[in-house]
Amino acid sequence: MKKGQPFIRLLLILVAIIIFHSSALASDITLGGQLDVSLTGFYDSQLGTGYLPRVNLDIELFFPRWGNNEIRCAGNLYTDIAGGKIGFFWKRLYWKHRFDNFQLTIGRQPVSWSFGSLLNPVDYSLGAVALDEDYNSKFQNALEIYYPINWHTSLSLVASSPGTLQDASIGLRGRTLINDFDVTIHFVQEGVMAEKAGQQRFGITAKGDIGKYGVYSALGYYRDEKNSFSFLVGADYSYFFQAGNRLYLQAEYLNIPPKLLSPITGSLMTEQTDSRDKNIHLLAGNVSYQIDDFSSISLTSLCNISDGSYLFMPGYTNQLSNSTALKIQAGIAMNAKNEAESASSLQGFNKPSQAFIELGFSYTF
C-alpha cells in the first residue's frame, strides 16, 4: 500500500457520504480548474539541446458550505516527462469546522507561512513557495487548529506529514500587529516520530510600510547537527502612471546557511563554493511592468554573491480572453566565469538547463 493511502481513502469515504446522502448538497456541487500546456526548449552542456512538452491540469470540486462546515477537494494531474507517465497528487482534500472559539482543519491542505517575500528561509516547509511559485511540499496531510484571539492576533498549531509518521512535523505560530507591522513568531520541529529527531527551526518575521515603501524582514535559527542562523531584509514599491500602467519593484537580501540554498530556491540554485562554514550572501529581485489591462512583462533575478553565480528569467504574459492566457518565459544561469551553469526550470521539471525558453497556454474553466 502506498504512503498516505489509508488517510486519503478515509477522507474520500467522508466526502462520498456527504455527497450521496444529501441530494440538496450534491445538486450544488460545481467543477472548475485550469489546464496548462507548454513546450520548453533548453540547452545544457551535458544533455545538449532538447525540448520538454508539459501538460498540467488543476481540477477542483466546489462544495457549498453548510453550517460551520467546509469541504475542499482539489487535485493536480500532470505529465511525468522523465518516466513517460501521468502523475497525480492531491492539493486539497480536507474538512474544516468553525467552532465558537477556534477553527479545526483536517486533511490534505496547503501549509505555508508566507509573508510576501520572494524567498522564505523560515517557512513551515522550506521551499514550499519560491518566487511566487507553489511547490509540492506546500501541500501536506495535516491537522491545523487556528485560534483567533482578536482581530489582529492569533495562534496556529499544525501537525503534518507528507508521507509516513516518521516524516511528521509539528509547528506553532503566533501572529499579531505591533505599530502597524505584522509580526509573527513560530517554531517547527521536524521528524517528531523518527528515531532521531529532525531539525528544529525558530523564526521571526515582520512586515509593514514606511512611507511609500513596503518593507519586511525575517530572522531564523536552525538547530540540528550544526546550529546556524539566517537573515532576510526586503522592500517593494509600486508606481502608477497617469495612463494606469503599473511598475512594481521588489528586492531582498538573504544571509543563509549553504544547506538552505537549494531548498528555499526550489532547486533553482545549488551551492558551488567549497566553504561550508560560512553563510551565503544572496540577492533576489523582481521587476514587472503592466503594459495594459491584459499584458505585462517581468524580470526575475537571483544572484549568489558568495560564488558569483546568477540567474535571470524574463517573462511575458497576455490575457487573450476571459479564460485563455499566453505566457512566454526564458532563463539563463551563469557562474563567476560567465560560463553557463546548470539550473532547474522554474516550472519544476527537475531537468538541468543552462538556458531555456518556454511557450505556454492556460485555459481556466
2 vs 43: which has the higher pLDDT:
43
* Closest alpha carbon to 104 in 159, 168, 186: 159
Give how far Cα 151 sits from Cα of 96, 98, 115, Å: 20, 16, 18
Predicted local confidence at residue 338, as pLDDT: 42
Which pLDDT band holds residue 86 (cuts at 50, 70, 90)? Answer: confident
**What's the pTM value of the predicted model, to 2 decimals?**
0.82
| Percent of the chain residues topping a pLDDT of 90 | 54
Place of cell 520538454: 52
Summarised one tens digit per residue, pLDDT across range 224-237 is: 878 899 999 999 99
Summarised one tens digit per residue, pLDDT across range 128-146 is: 888 888 888 899 999 999 9
Task: Provide the CA 40 distance to its chain's centre, in angstroms.
Answer: 21
The structural domains of the chain, with segments of one domain joined by +, span 5-20+37-364
Predicted local confidence at residue 100, as pLDDT: 92
CATH (residue range 5-20+37-364): 2.40.160.100
Over residues 302-328, mean pLDDT: 92
Over residues 110-117, mean pLDDT: 93
Which pLDDT band holds residue 337 (cuts at 50, 70, 90)? Answer: very low
Residues in CB range of 54: below 8 A, 6 or more apart = 36, 37, 38, 39, 40, 78, 79, 81, 347, 349, 360
Summarised one tens digit per residue, pLDDT across range 53-79 is: 888 999 999 988 888 999 999 999 888
Task: Provide the CA 160 distance to its chain's centre, in angstroms.
Answer: 16
Predicted local confidence at residue 16, as pLDDT: 55
